[in-house]
Structure 1
Amino acid sequence: MPAPDFRDLDKNSILGDKATELPKPLTSCEKNTKRLERCRINQKRYRERQRAIRSSIEQIMIQINTLTRKQRHLTKRKESRDPCRVVGDMFNQLEAYFRLLGCRSDKKVQLDRGREQEMVESMKNSFVFDVVLGDVNGVDAVMELLHRNSQYFDDPTVHLKQLEEVSSGIVTASATLHVTISVSTLCFLFPRLLRTSLSKHCPPFALGKRLLGEQLECECSITFFFDKASGRVARLQTSINWIGALFRVLGNLKEVSNVLDGALIIV
């Protein structure tokens, strides 16, 4: 049998279907597209690493500042004033602070940010670093809570009526808090009063309209627990009589109950 003559066979005949499976060389446009995609992915990873580094640095700086402030508090001299004097001075500072914040509603008066910060720092000096108020812990958090709550009302004022040192290192202050109900009050503290109601007898929305612009006079009590080592306030307990204040405006307990239902305040 004669040997086959391979000269008559072309490349495709020898390789068969495998020749069609060979990858085609990329065009210049396709190469550029792949290169740009790799660059985009690398840039995205770089930006993510940079954000992570910046976030870590910010967290470290916060921790450094916190530890520095804590050290500063720990190295302060013991408060020389007696507890009643400390609380009385704090109420004077608080009254002045509320008056300063009230300037924001007057376009003719520019808020003195430096003066505000000075007042805040002065009040901070009366607390230990990890002072506790309810579920809030830390002097910065307590001051932030005070500032935030003052923004929920118009024209907040507080007047100290009586101080009593019930035992060594424990002072109870009786005061009157005056606040005016604003739209912010309804939004943040009484959100239910902004909704339409299914009740035909006492719709919350109507109650919200009645309260808007009304001034509440709230009797309140604050107990200050002092740290013996530093002579500063370590814990506070507050009680505000919202029921009595609302009753004087609305005139009946049923409407007061409807207002307080779902309210974001402690009664």
Structure 2
Amino acid sequence: MPAPDFRDLDKNSILGDKATELPKPLTSCEKNTKRLERCRINQKRYRERQRAIRSSIEQIMIQINTLTRKQRHLTKRKESRDPCRVVGDMFNQLEAYFRLLGCRSDKKVQLDRGREQQMVKSMKNSFVFDVVLGDVNGVDAVMELLHRNSQYFDDPTVHLKQLEEVSSGIVTASATLHVTISVSTLCFLFPRLLRTSLSKHCPPFALGKRLLGEQLECECSITFFFDKASGRVVRLQTSINWIGALFRVLGNLKEVSNVLDGALIDV
């Protein structure tokens, strides 16, 4: 069989249909079109990256503003927990509390229970839960003692005169307490002055009758011990000068001694 003559075979007959699959060279217009498409895609990606960066920056700025506000709030809270400021605010609340309780003596004025509870809550926030005052322990017990003692007198008022931070976390307040002696005062604090078993002219009864309705001006001192971590009061020490107040009314120490004999107050 004679060998085939490949000279008569052209390129298409050798490659068959594969010759038609070879890419044609791009024209200048097609190259420009593809280049423009790549540029468009790159610009789109660039804009997306820019938007993502701007979004991240906005989120960071929001976080910065939030943290800044928190820092200001914490700084303000720390400043508001300054011991002298806490004690000053407490005396302002105490004055308002006494004025509110004084409305009970006026039948034409109804006591605003909601306001009273709000004041008590505000004052309680200045103490730790287990605050100590003498033999009394616990914030509820301390507030109950304050309320009860305020009912023993008529027209109780307190005026802050001076604050001194004697050392870190210890503040001493000097104040003037004005109270009017009432029947409740004699019953609960000076019961001996109501005894009439011997004679209505006996010294104790006469002194009680003399004191009834008198206003006492008592110099008092309260020391507040603060917990540094919470900025709240953990302990209180009180001192009220009953002797000086009674002496200004009675005029001699012997009668003052008779009044204080058997009295249920700390002298």
Normalised by the size of structure 1, how large is the TM-score? 0.70
CA distance 1:35–1:69, shift in 2 (3 Å): same
Per-residue deviation, 1:62: 45
- Residues 20-55 of structure 1: per-residue CA shift (max 9 Å, x gap): 999999999999999999999999999999999999
Residue of structure 1 equivalent to 2:233: 233
SS at match of 1:107: coil
Residues 1:141 and 1:200: Cα distance change in structure 2 (over 3 Å): closer
Instruction: Point out the more displaced range, 5-14 or 59-68.
Output: 5-14
CA deviation map 1:160-209 (0-9, x unaligned)? 00000000000000000000000000000000000027699961000000
Task: Assess, with a 3 A threshold, how the Cα gap between structure 1 residues 133 and 38 changes in structure 2: closer, same or farther.
Answer: farther
Q: Deviations over 1:201-255 (max 9, x none)?
A: 9610000000000000000000000011111000000000000000000000000
**More deviation, 201-210/7-16:** 7-16
Cα contact 1:216–1:249 (8 A) shared by 2: yes
Deviations 1:37-84 (A, max 9, x none): 999999999999999999999999999999999999999987842100
Contact (CA 8 Å) 2:158, 2:177: kept in 1 or not? yes
Report the Cα distance in structure 2 between the residues aligned to 1:43 and 1:196, rounded to whole angstroms.
106
Q: Which moved more, 1:101-110 or 1:191-200?
A: 191-200
Cα separation, partners in 2 of 1:47 and 1:36, compared to 1, 3 Å: same
- C-alpha contact (below 8 Å) 1:152/1:185 kept by paired residues: yes
Seen in structure 2, the aligned counterparts of structure 1 residues 108 and 255 have a Cα distance that, compared at 3 Å, is same
Output aligned runs, 1:1-267, within 5 Å.
Answer: 80-196=80-196, 203-267=203-267
Per-residue deviation at 1:99? 0.1
Structure label with greater radius of gyration: 2
Q: Tell me, what secondary structure is at the counterpart of 2:228?
A: coil
Residues 82 and 28 (structure 1), Cα distance of their counterparts in 2 relative to 1, 3 Å cut: closer
* Structure 2 residue runs without a partner (length 5+): none
Q: 1:62 to 1:230 in 2, by over 3 A?
A: farther
Q: Which secondary structure does the structure 2 equivalent of 1:19 belong to? A: helix
Structure 1, 51-60 or 223-232: larger mean CA deviation: 51-60
Instruction: Tell me the percent identity.
Output: 99
**Aligned counterparts of 1:183 and 1:21: Cα–Cα separation in 2:** 120
Q: Which stretch has the larger CA shift, 252-261 or 192-201?
A: 192-201
* 1:76 counterpart SS class: helix
CA distance in 2, matches of 1:182, 1:176: 19
Whether the aligned pair in 2 keeps the contact of 1:131 and 1:138 (CA below 8 Å) is yes
Structure 1: runs of 5+ lacking an equivalent: none
Query: Match of 2:237, SS?
Result: strand
User: Given that residues 200 and 206 in structure 2 are in contact (C-alpha distance below 8 angstroms), is that contact kept between their aligned partners in structure 1?
Assistant: no
In structure 2, relative to structure 1, the CA distance for the partners of 1:142 and 1:64 (3 Å cut) is farther
Contact 2:225/2:236 (<8 A) preserved = yes
Q: 1:80 to 1:25 in 2, by over 3 A?
A: closer
User: Does the Cα contact within 8 Å between 2:196 and 2:202 map onto a contact in 1?
Assistant: no
* Distance change in 2, residues 1:71/1:249 (3 Å): farther
Q: Once the 2 structures are TM-superposed, how far is the Cα of residue 8 of structure 1 from its aligned partner? A: 166
Post-superposition offset of 1:128 = 0.2
Note closer, same or farther for the CA distance 1:192–1:66 as it changes in structure 2 (3 Å cut). Answer: farther
